[in-house]
Amino acid sequence: MIKKLKGIGLLILANFLIFITLSITFTLLSELILPAFGIDIRGMVTYSDLLWALVLGFGGAFLSLAFSKQLARAMVGECSQITTPRTPKEAVVYETVHKLANKLDIAMPEVWVYDSPDPNAFATGPSKNNSMVAVSRGLLDNLNEGEIRAVLAHEMGHVYNGDMFTTTILQGLMNTFVYFISRLIYRQLAERNELLAFGVYMALHVGLSLLATIPISWFSRHREFAADRFAAFSVGKEYMISALRAIDRWIQQTQFQYATDDALAAMKISGPTWNFSKLFATHPPIEERIAALERL
C-alpha cells in the first residue's frame, strides 16, 4: 500500500504516524507516568492545552517535512541516486530536472530511481532548494522521452510551488484541532473513569485524524491540477496528456492482468472515480486531469 502513494501522500502518511505517536506519548507521560513519580504537570497543562496542541500539531507536521526525503526513500524500498546517468532514459531524467532547476532558479533536487513496475514519480523535501525527485523503473520502461519530461515537469511544479510546505501548514492546523478537541473530551471523562477516558481519547484521536485528512487530500488534488498546468506550460500540454494516457493504459492492463494479486492496482497513479474513498484520495482521476489539460 505504501508504495502506491506519491510525494504528498507520503508526507500525509508520515505526518499522521508521527503526530499520533507524539500525542499518545505526551498524554501517557503527563497523565500516568510522570504523576507516578510525583511529577504532576496536569494542572499546568489544563491552562495551556491550546499551546500544547499547537506545539504537538505543528511539531509533528514539521518533523515529517524535515525528514520527508529520508522517509520517502525508506517507504519506497530499494532505490539509487542518479549522479552520473548510466542509461539514455536516466540521462533524460537527470538532464530534464537539471534544466528545469536552472530555469526556475532553484537548487538542483536530488534525483532518484526506485524499483517498482508501475509508472510513477514523486517529489518531496523541506523546501524548493532542498528537495528530491524520484521516478520508478516502470515509468522509464513504459513512457517515451517526451512523456517522461512531462511527468518530471509536473513534479518540478510541486517543488517550485512549495506544495510540501503549504501542505505541512494545513496539516499543522488540522493536527492542532484534533489534539485540542480530543484533550477537552478526555478531561471531561477522566474525572469519572481514567481508563475509559484514555480509550475514548485514543479512538477520538485516530478518528478525528482520519477526518482531518479530507481537507488535506482535497488540497492535494487541487495542487495536482496546478502541477499539470505547470507541466503543460513548461513542455507542452500534449506531452502531459500523452503521459497521462500512457499511465492510464498501464493501469487498465494491470487491473486486468493482475487484479487477483493487487486489488488496488488502479490506485497507484490516479485517484478513484467518485465514491466515498475519493474524499481521501490525494490524486484526481486521470480522466479529470486530461479534461482539465484539454481546456487550457
Of the candidates 80, 84, 62, the one whose C-alpha atom is nearest the C-alpha of residue 135 is: 80
| Cα 235 from Cα 134, distance rounded (Å) | 19
pLDDT attached to residue 196: 87
CB 166 within 8 A of CB 222: no
Q: How much is the pTM?
A: 0.77
What Å distances lie between residue 205 and 23, 114, 271, CA to CA? 9, 34, 26
Averaged pLDDT score across all residues of the chain: 82
DSSP structure class, residue 156: H
| Cα 37 from Cα 241, distance rounded (Å) | 63
Each residue's pLDDT tens digit, 187-224: 778 778 888 888 888 888 888 888 888 988 898 899 99
| Cα 218 from Cα 10, distance rounded (Å) | 15
Each residue's pLDDT tens digit, 85-140: 999 999 999 999 999 999 999 999 999 999 988 899 999 999 999 999 999 999 99
Q: Is 120 helix (H, G, I), strand (E, B) or coil?
A: coil
State the burial class of residue 109 (Cβ atoms within 10 Å of its Cβ: 0-12, 13-18, 19+): buried
pLDDT attached to residue 200: 87
Q: Which residue has the cell 513512457?
A: 143
| Cα 230 from Cα 275, distance rounded (Å) | 28
Range list of H helices, 162-193? 163-190
| Cα 268 from Cα 256, distance rounded (Å) | 14
Active site residues: 155
| Cα 171 from Cα 293, distance rounded (Å) | 28
Residue spans of beta strands (DSSP E) within the chain: 79-81, 110-114, 121-127, 130-136
Q: What is the 3-state secondary structure (H, E, C) of 202-231?
A: HHHHHHHHHHHHHHHHHHHHHHHHHHHHHH
Each residue's pLDDT tens digit, 262-274: 333 333 444 444 5
Each residue's pLDDT tens digit, 130-181: 999 999 999 999 999 999 999 999 999 999 999 988 888 888 888 888 888 8
56: left (phi over 0), alpha (psi -120 to 50) or beta: alpha
| Torsion, CA 255, CA 247, CA 8, CA 121, rounded to 10 | 120
| Cα 34 from Cα 73, distance rounded (Å) | 36
Of the candidates 234, 254, 256, the one whose C-alpha atom is nearest the C-alpha of residue 246 is: 254
CB 268 within 8 A of CB 286: no
